[in-house]
Structure 1
Amino acid sequence: MSLQEAEENDEEVVTDFSVRLIEKLAKDNKNKPDEGLDSAAGDGPALPVDPLSLSSLLSQGFEEGPARQALRKFKNSTQAALDFLIGGGQEEQEDDGVRMPTTVRRVQRLKERRRAQQSKRRQQEEEEEDKKIAADSKIAKPSENGSASSPPRKVPEPAQ
């Protein structure tokens, strides 16, 4: 009954969610051009996907949809699309600007340098401690004639 009334009033009855979504997106793009969800602002015209590049990505086990998107994004550059798909299909974000050492050899050199500095510091601390102990032992052990720092002297015999 309500369908007949809607047809009589020339009102459109929306029965499908996808139709409503498409209408909403179209409306959003009219109100705010270049900002809608399906906007391709700044992308220029969509390039056709190179079939050889696509087949190369498909043969490596990637799904067709993400492979096509990656090829369009990187203007049919197979290597860039492959790197993008391997990385999980997410845009790379810059880190804090802190770059980690890239080679194992560099890491090993840094560790070795740190160990050398630590052992040198330990040796210096041990030498200082030994000097301190030696100085303390001289003070604590006075010699027979009462002098703490000088060795016993021979008294010269009188000349005859």
Structure 2
Amino acid sequence: MSMLDELPLSVTHEVRNRCLCLHLQRAARAIARHFDEALRPLEITNGQFSLLISLNRPAAPTIGEIAQLLAMDRTTLTANLKPLERRKLLKIVVDDKDKRSRLLKITAAGQKLLARAVPVWRAAHDEIDRMLSRNPDELRADLEGLARGV
């Protein structure tokens, strides 16, 4: 008896058509490529943009705080910080309050790059919003609810 006898092709089609994980992954990859292409002239990726914009705040956050915000493990985040640090777009500094902890500070060069990147991001985002068949704010709220609830 073959595997196909036990699991008919109709099940494969059901998963392909119904699986939210698959549909979200495919959409996320397509959206990521869209933003990567838009931000390419600035020599940053959408992931680097997200990381830098997350540092644009009054007090420097810890690596752990940014890892949680971006839903990344600390090791992956640390690897993603290195190219931005080499480009002097951010600094990793020891936290004076807890010497074991590291803070992430955006530099003046990082802020200048973000100032150029935000209009590009907005235009790319407007394109995505126009492609949606529903209210983008409702979609974001649903996705946020899924992220918290799963």
> Where on the TM-score scale, by shorter chain, does this alignment land: which range?
under 0.3
| Greater per-residue helix proportion | 2
The one of the two structures with greater contact order (alpha-carbon pairs below 8 A, sep at least 6) is 2
| Greater per-residue strand proportion | 2
Could you state the TM-score of these two structures normalised by the residue count of structure 2?
0.24
Higher Cα Rg, which structure: 1
Could you state the TM-score of these two structures normalised by the residue count of structure 1?
0.23
